[in-house]
DNA sequence: GCAATAGTGTCTATAAGACAATATCTT
DNA sequence: AAGATATTGTCTTATAGACACTATTGC
């Protein structure tokens, strides 16, 4: 036992991490929100090569040793640095405090960054409506872009002729993030992460319609949401204005305590994706 | 504020992570199989510090620059090196050729490796019954371990008194892999990845029971599997022996062409997980 | 008033699960 | 022969979706 411990100490002292062919690690964030009932993603325009002038997901290098930070912390930091949206200090109330953040996937194909070997850990964020971002850090510009304007194909490429070209493999990362978002809305209550703390059922339906890109039957949706235990809970209040073109004032709800929807809200018509 | 931002930009422009901030990237594999109707995971006993003598998921450093390799390729290579199970060269027929491999998640908390900053990309593998592994590479020993023998709690810790202790944060990675596997069986046909190319419905049910840890109703399961389009297709043949204690010889099926199960096979009784 | 919308009621087709029945195998 | 199992049948209940209806709002 004592011998083991001495071996371990000697081993650690002799250890040079650079012997192990270190690669660089970045985080990139697919940050989604709903504006004017349309799904938007946060993009920055790159100020420097490679891909200078092209658009990209906000992201950057993880601080590995000095000021070593965890991966989700790096994601929040990059989001804040490059867009000017700030997360308040623990328990604060900056605009990023109410975002849902989850890990999406990691992308590491050799050659995906022309400079060097880079592994990128992608995160997915769901945000309620946020202010317009301000460019910072490496970004020449930052904006919420309607997802539909990016010409994404089913295979994660951009259609020729799309004006905002995405750098690196970010169109694939974005496509993966969108598919994850669509799936998460089926079996989790995360649609509420796109809403204000209090929301109406029609607002929630607008979230589903924006993310799924399909119209949903208002009556059936309404009953379904209320029938899933813990999805939403009533505030007892009624919205001030209908916000739409007419009709009665809808009631207000807040997110319930469910972490999973049971039964789930399944997307209609997925026949093509099954085979 | 503006000054802060410019400093940040200068810092990033000069930043060479390989000189100042080395991060190493590893892959770790949660390889699952079914032996004697019990779910097993592939483990290796570590020959060297840190955590020498403890058990761990097979894995190791990604070749980042010299002989740069992709992440899934690194996962297959580590699996092969440390266990002696070989994947045949493209289109070959080594024991690893029929395994399903998918990315699980990436773990990068500072301090998870006492030597240095290490980011680990975890993969999840579903394998049909494979031969016993042979230790190789850094491994002192390699074995299929019954998942139940590892004393995993719901929070990804190991219960005190468990004999095989897992190194690093591998008990958390394993717990995440198990939960992913349980979920995947619900809405994909991947249970067939645990089976031989031809299998019976009762064998498929045994897979579900092993992964979910619950008994399923034989009659309802049978009809359900056959009613999901593209899950399995008949071979017309019948199994030679029943393999169980009696009863008629079951029919043989092979995997169908569905990528998703619709409708899904939902796990019974998940009330606790919902809130 | 008119058009649009929130919320509820009703009906039908589908799916899940409990239970039963029968034929076929092992021991 | 006894016990176990594969497979099919039947019935009940839960759910999804189509459609209809009423009441309430903005214009």
What value does the mean pLDDT take over residues B76-80? 92
Measured between beta carbons, the chain A residues lying within 8 angstroms of B231 are none
Chain C: nucleotides below 7 Å from protein CB are 3-9, 15-21, 23-27
Q: Name which of A43, A38, A35 is nearest A162 in CA terms.
A: A43
Contact A108 B49 (CB under 8 A): no
Give, in Å, how far the C1' of D21 lies from the CA of A226. 20
Q: Check: CATH 3.40.50.300 for B20-183?
A: no
In this predicted model, what pLDDT tens digit does every residue of B168-212 receive, in sequence order?
999 999 999 999 999 999 999 999 999 999 999 999 999 999 999
Task: Provide the CA A34 to C1' D25 distance, Å, integer.
Answer: 25
Q: Give CATH 3.90.79.10 domain extents, chain B.
A: 20-183
pLDDT score at B275: 66
User: For position A46, what pLDDT does the model report?
Assistant: 95
Footprint on protein of nucleic strand C, Cβ below 7 A: A 200-202, 218-220, 222-223, 226, 242, 244-251; B 217, 219-220, 224, 227, 241-242, 245-249, 263-266, 268
In this complex, do B23 and A66 lie within 8 Å of one another by their Cβ atoms? no
Question: Which nt sits closest to A217, CA to C1'?
Answer: D17
Closest CB from B49, B64, B109 relative to A70: B109
The pLDDT of residue A223:
98
Its pTM stands at 0.92
Q: What is the structure's pLDDT at B271?
A: 63
What pLDDT score was predicted for residue A22?
66
Q: Which of A196-200, B15-19, B90-94, B194-198 has the lowest mean pLDDT?
A: B15-19
Residue range A188-274 in CATH 1.10.10.10: yes
- pLDDT means per 10 residues, chain A with 275 residues, are 47 49 89 97 95 96 90 94 72 74 97 93 96 88 97 94 96 98 97 97 98 97 97 96 85 97 88 61
For the cut 50, the answer to whether the pLDDT of residue B250 exceeds it is yes
Q: How confident is the model at residue B2 (pLDDT cuts 50, 70, 90)?
A: very low
- What is the pLDDT at residue A14? 46
DSSP state string for chain B: -HHHHHHHHHHHHH--HHHH--BEEEEEEEEEEEETTEEEEEEEEESSSSSTTSEE-SEEE---STT---HHHHHHHHHHHHH---PPSTT---TTTT-EEEEEEEE--TTSSSSS-EEEEEEEEE--S-PPP---TTEEEEEEEEGGGG-B-TTSPBPTT-SSPBPTTHHHHHHHHHHHHHHHHHHSSGGGGGS-SSB-HHHHHHHHHHHHTS---HHHHHHHHHHSTTSEEEEEEE-S---SSSSPPPEEEEE-S-SS-SS--PPS--HHHH-
CB contact under 8 Å between B53 and A4, yes or no, is: yes
For residue A50, the chain B residue with the least C-alpha distance is B13
- Measured CA to CA in angstroms, residue B226 lies from A2, B128, B222, B242 at distances of 60, 21, 6, 20
Q: Which of A3, A24, A123 to mutate to test the interface with B (most CBs of B within 10 A)?
A: A24
Q: Do B259 and A274 touch (CB under 8 A)?
A: yes
Give which of B173, B205, B159, B169 is closest to B34, Cα–Cα. B205
User: Residues 206-265 of B near strand D (Cβ < 7 Å)?
Assistant: 218-220, 222-223, 226, 242, 244-251
Which pLDDT score, from 0 to 100, does residue A178 have? 98
Q: Right CATH number for A21-183 from 3.90.79.10, 2.60.260.20, 3.90.650.10, 3.40.47.10?
A: 3.90.79.10
Q: Is the pLDDT of residue B3 over 70?
A: no
- How many residues does this entry show for chain B? 275
Q: Where in chain B is the domain with CATH 1.10.10.10?
A: 188-274
DSSP states along chain A: -HHHHHHHHHHHHH--GGGG--BEEEEEEEEEEEETTEEEEEEEEE-SSSSTTSEE-SEEE---STT---HHHHHHHHHHHHH---PPSTT---TTTT-EEEEEEEE--TTSSSSS-EEEEEEEEE--S-PPP---TTEEEEEEEEGGGG-B-TTSPBPTT-SSPBPTTHHHHHHHHHHHHHHHHHHSSGGGGGS-SSB-HHHHHHHHHHHHTS---HHHHHHHHHHSTTSEEEEEEE-SS--SSSSPPPEEEEE-S-SS-SS--PPS--HHHH-
Tell me, what's the pLDDT at A13? 45
Closest CA to A55 of A153, A192, A134, A166: A166
Query: What chain B residue is nearest to A47 in terms of C-alpha separation?
Result: B9
The region of weakest confidence among A63-67, B32-36, B47-51 is A63-67
Catalytic residue among B69, B81, B102, B141: B141
Residues 215-254 of A with CB under 7 A from strand D: 217, 219-220, 224, 227, 241-242, 245-249
Lowest mean pLDDT of A127-136, B82-91, B153-162, name the range.
B82-91
Where exactly does CATH 3.90.79.10 map onto chain A? 21-183
**Which of B5, B12, B106 has the CB atom closest to A121's CB atom?**
B106
Per-residue pLDDT band for B122 (boundaries 50, 70, 90) equals: very high
What average pLDDT does this structure show over B88-113?
A: 84
Considering only alpha carbons, which residue of chain A is nearest residue B19?
A18
Active site annotation includes A271: no
B37 pLDDT band, cuts 50/70/90, is very high
Distance B256 CA to C11 C1' (A): 36
């Amino acid at each position: 036992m004592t011998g083991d411990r001495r071996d371990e100490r000697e081993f650690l002292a002799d250890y040079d991490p650079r012997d192990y062919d270190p690669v660089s690690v970045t985080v990139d964030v697919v940050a989604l929100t709903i504006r004017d009932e349309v799904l938007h993603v946060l993009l920055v325009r790159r100020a420097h090569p490679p891909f200078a002038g092209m658009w990209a997901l906000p992201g950057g290098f993880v601080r590995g040793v000095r000021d070593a930070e965890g991966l989700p912390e790096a994601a929040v930091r990059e989001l804040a640095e490059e867009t000017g949206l700030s997360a308040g200090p623990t328990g604060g109330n900056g605009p990023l405090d109410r975002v849902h953040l989850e890990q999406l996937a990691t992308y590491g194909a050799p050659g995906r960054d022309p400079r060097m070997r880079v592994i990128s850990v992608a995160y997915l964020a769901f945000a309620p409506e946020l202010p317009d971002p301000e460019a910072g850090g490496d970004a020449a510009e930052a904006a919420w872009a309607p997802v539909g304007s990016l010409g994404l194909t089913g295979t994660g490429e951009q259609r020729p002729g799309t004006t905002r070209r995405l750098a690196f493999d970010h169109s694939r990362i974005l496509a993966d993030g969108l598919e994850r978002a669509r799936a998460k809305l089926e079996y989790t209550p995360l649609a509420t992460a796109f809403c204000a703390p209090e929301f109406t059922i029609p607002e929630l339906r607008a979230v589903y319609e924006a993310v799924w890109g399909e119209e949903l039957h208002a009556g059936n949706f309404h009953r379904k949401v209320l029938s899933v235990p813990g999805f939403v809970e009533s505030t007892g209040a009624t919205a001030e204005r209908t916000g739409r073109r007419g009709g009665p004032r809808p009631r207000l709800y807040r997110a319930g305590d469910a972490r999973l929807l049971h039964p789930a809200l399944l997307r209609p018509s997925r026949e093509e994706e099954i085979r």
